[in-house]
Amino acid sequence: MQWIKTALLSLLLATQLATAEPDAQPQAININTATVEQLAQLKGIGEAKAQAIVAYRQANGKFSSPEDLTKVKGIGPSTLQTNLAQLTVE
């Protein structure tokens, strides 16, 4: 009887793993064209910081690299590192 329970649990687990959706990969965000809503999806960036990024971009032109985000008040090295793999500039 115990082996039946084990077999059923194994089958259930295998079914759940087979039908589970893979982890969604974060979509790249071009910081030179992203909207406030898109920027606010980044970790550690809420609406206020997203607005500051857009305002900085409008006042100073396009970012040359993702690292330029640290020029925006409130965006530090830690926030940059957390999101770096997701950031692009075009």
- 26-57, pLDDT tens digit by residue? 689 999 999 999 999 999 999 999 999 999 99
Secondary element (H or E) of residue 70: none
Higher pLDDT, residue 1 or 25: 1
Quick one: pLDDT at residue 2? 72
| Alpha carbon separation from 47 to 25, 43, 72, 74 (Å, rounded) | 22, 11, 14, 12
pTM, two decimals, is: 0.72
What's at 63, amino acid-wise?
F
Secondary element (H or E) of residue 30: strand 29-30
CATH of region 29-88: 1.10.150.310
- Give residue limits of the domains in the chain: 29-88
The mean pLDDT of 52-64, rounded to a whole number, is: 98
Structure tokens at 27: 């979509």
pLDDT exceeds 70 at position 5: no
Q: What is the DSSP string of 3-22?
A: HHHHHHHHHHHHHHHHHSPP
